[in-house]
Structure 1
């Protein structure tokens, strides 16, 4: 006999407590195999695909795309051992056979990891089992299914569905198709008792359409089987509301003041409400960045110093490296890789900037290893991948790791471990065509080096005016870990290495 097993959102590590559903990879009725990815979620750290730990037929999905789920919340249910027959795709509003009903357990242990056997509450035994799919997600009728006895349907208060049905929607006009008028003189408790139970709709598209137009699904009568609300019912209710609004507007008296002395009074001008702006939720990567930047501004007393440097020799050295690297077969050395190597050399001379502040203990913690973060702009927002143990790598190794992490960031495949644990950040905002910036320190680090664009400018070189490749460097630092002299010494050493790359030979 088939068992319905529940797969919950697993712990994704790094202290993450919730994730946003980006894209479902399976539909209800699909056959899944063990470890097959079923959903793509976005956390505060990265976007990952979540595999299902067992195989069978998907009977229910919990949560729509764009919604957030806490760790441990149900993701989907799978019928193990059931025939691999998918529901009829022609009728999208009809629930699959047995969906929303809990299967009886045979008492045996779950064969797959992370799965829980779902049982139903029967009036004969009165035992309490796990919640059914509909009670958890709000997208499936509780106890709903073809041939399900009415005595076994659970009754749930309407407040359970407050998240999916907007109770503040305007009351539909009585007599409209697909709508139920409120009873005259009915008390609040009587209305609550009348609508006690789940909303008879299982389609996420129908719910989304109702929310978009401010409709209360509990006031719509479904024309489907056993009162199931179909898309046509919601569209009919929307049409009715639009017709009511047009009739009210047509019957409204014309604007104008009363006649004074035989002359018409001043005409009142209609008041136009200000358009409501677009609201964008701060969650996922964008929310994590916002929290970190806000915390940095609150806790870190930062200061910034900057200097212009002649990068002509650095660009010439890079061109020579790329021209002689294995006849051109080796990867090109980037400017960012050279600057990263300069940073690790500077941090070995000024270790105060490779540290963090323990506010509770009131101590500055100097860190032994340099885990160098670099800012990468992606379609999902700003990310800071981390090159581990950058102090022990040469320029070529740092460049290869930067290239690998950048590609992973652009494709959304960075892991949480690759985005955490940095001790110093390099921000190359020159790629955006700007000369300078005062960036916000990546909390809980102590400093960030900013690099502007390298552009040809007039420059005094060896006592004569010449056109040179000039770059502006800026250092934003936590004033608690060092004074301006240390920060200035660090920035001056970086500028000297940019102007004379041979200085790096001391640390090779």
Structure 2
């Protein structure tokens, strides 16, 4: 007789409390192996494939694609010990003790579960792909078996199609959600039925054409309405509202920014700097030929290298505050975060050990993390643990800003656009490449003298890159 075990949505780390089901990778009746990914979920930080710690036959699946589940809510029921779905008699499969709609509600309300008996099954206790263990958790909830003569009936709310949707690109899935296209109804034009972006756009356009025809028909009917109806008094004007839940990345950003403003007494100082020589230096680096030539260096990488040099001089800004113990915690390593705008919202990937990297290494890591951020493939580890943030809001065409500190860090350097402006250079008015630099800092970790010294050193390196060579 197969042993039916319940697999719940695991804790995906970094305080995440819920996740949205993007795509089921298995259906009811499918055979799964230990650590096989069974569902792709989207958290406030990234999209993650969740592996199942048991091997067996899927007997129940909770939650539709697009729905949100809290951590601890059931995902799957797996019959362990059967090689195929035909090996599991229906009378031997215990029915779930509650419906799919009831289980997430219990998890949100923190309802205690009944004590279960110790059960052993082959599997792992892994949470994310690649981080597994060799034994399964020993305590599982006892489920109430169904009567032997009963046959479970699929609920009416079950999805129409249980097969995995042949989609690889997260951008295609996002486009389908935005355009209101059900991927389960499409037949892909790619290899092996793979659904491509063009398939989604064609389906959306076809649906839009049908909607336009219906609208035109309704308009024609309205033109023949009695004239008396046209003279009827119009109802009182009401305010139109469009509400969007603060969840996912938008909700995480809102919570973090609110906490930053609530807990950190921040202050901002700024300065204009002549970046002409820095831009000339970058051109010289990228135009080098021969053995000394290397990959292209980005402006962001040069600014990051200047930041790490400035933090070595002013380590007070590479710190955090332990509010419970009322202590300043200075950090030795610089894990540099940088703000990246994506289709899913603002994210802050982190470059580990930025203080030990040169301009080439920084350029390569910025490019890798930016590409992963736009594809929604950043792991939680790549989005956490920063000690200082570099925010290049100049890409939006603005000169200045007063950025909000990325809690629990102590400071953030903001960089505006580099634009041609009139500037006094060597006693004469000239057109130079000017940039505004702003530093927002936690006034608990340092005073204005330290913050001003840090910002002035950064500006000096931007205006005269040779200054940086003295500290290398």
Query: TM-score, normalization: structure 2?
Result: 0.70
Aligned partner of 1:148 in structure 2 is 150
Aligned partner of 2:218 in structure 1 is none
**Conserved in 2, the CA contact under 8 Å of 1:45 and 1:285?**
yes
Shift of 1:329: 6.5
Aligned partner of 2:59 in structure 1 is 59
Q: 1:400/1:500 Cα in 2 relative to 1: closer, same or farther (>3 Å)?
A: same
**Conserved in 1, the CA contact under 8 Å of 2:55 and 2:122?**
no
Task: Say yes or no: does 1:203 pair with 2:168.
Answer: no
**Conserved in 1, the CA contact under 8 Å of 2:322 and 2:329?**
yes
Aligned partner of 1:416 in structure 2 is 380
Q: 1:203/1:373 Cα in 2 relative to 1: closer, same or farther (>3 Å)?
A: same
1:393 paired residue among 330, 346, 357: 357
Over the residues paired in the alignment, what is the CA RMSD in angstroms? 3.4
**Conserved in 1, the CA contact under 8 Å of 2:4 and 2:93?**
no
User: How far does the alpha carbon of each residue in 1:378-432 deviate from its partner, in whole angstroms, 9 at most, with x for none?
Assistant: 1221111111222222222222222222222222222222211211110001111
Task: Say yes or no: does 1:102 pair with 2:94.
Answer: yes
**Conserved in 2, the CA contact under 8 Å of 1:322 and 1:328?**
no
Shift of 1:21: 1.9
Which one has a bigger Cα radius of gyration? 1
Q: Quick one: distance in 2 between partners of 1:505 and 1:456?
A: 26
2:239 paired residue among 271, 274, 278: 274
User: How far does the alpha carbon of each residue in 1:184-206 deviate from its partner, in whole angstroms, 9 at most, with x for none?
Assistant: xxxxxxxxxxxxxx995242469
Q: Quick one: distance in 2 between partners of 1:489 and 1:443?
A: 23
Task: Say yes or no: does 1:350 pair with 2:361.
Answer: no
Q: 1:78/1:439 Cα in 2 relative to 1: closer, same or farther (>3 Å)?
A: same
- Give the unaligned 5+ runs of structure 1: 87-95, 120-127, 133-142, 154-197, 207-253, 256-265
**Conserved in 1, the CA contact under 8 Å of 2:43 and 2:249?**
yes
Q: Quick one: distance in 1 between partners of 2:394 and 2:411?
A: 18
Q: Quick one: distance in 1 between partners of 2:290 and 2:3?
A: 61
**Conserved in 2, the CA contact under 8 Å of 1:375 and 1:427?**
yes
Q: Quick one: distance in 1 between partners of 2:264 and 2:119?
A: 56
Q: 1:372/1:99 Cα in 2 relative to 1: closer, same or farther (>3 Å)?
A: farther
SS at match of 2:470: helix
Shift of 1:67: 2.9
Shift of 1:24: 1.7
How many correspondences in the alignment?
A: 374
Q: 1:377/1:81 Cα in 2 relative to 1: closer, same or farther (>3 Å)?
A: same
Q: 1:34/1:359 Cα in 2 relative to 1: closer, same or farther (>3 Å)?
A: closer
Aligned partner of 1:478 in structure 2 is 442
SS at match of 2:402: coil
SS at match of 2:461: helix
Task: Say yes or no: does 1:111 pair with 2:125.
Answer: no
Aligned partner of 1:293 in structure 2 is 257
Shift of 1:22: 2.3
- Give the unaligned 5+ runs of structure 2: 97-117, 126-135, 162-227
Query: TM-score, normalization: structure 1?
Result: 0.66
Aligned partner of 2:344 in structure 1 is 380
1:3-402 correspondence to structure 2 within 5 Å? 3-82=3-82, 84=84, 98=90, 101-102=93-94, 109-114=120-125, 129-130=142-143, 148=150, 201-204=156-159, 269-277=234-242, 279-324=243-288, 330-402=294-366
User: How far does the alpha carbon of each residue in 1:152-171 deviate from its partner, in whole angstroms, 9 at most, with x for none?
Assistant: x9xxxxxxxxxxxxxxxxxx
Q: Quick one: distance in 1 between partners of 2:305 and 2:312?
A: 11
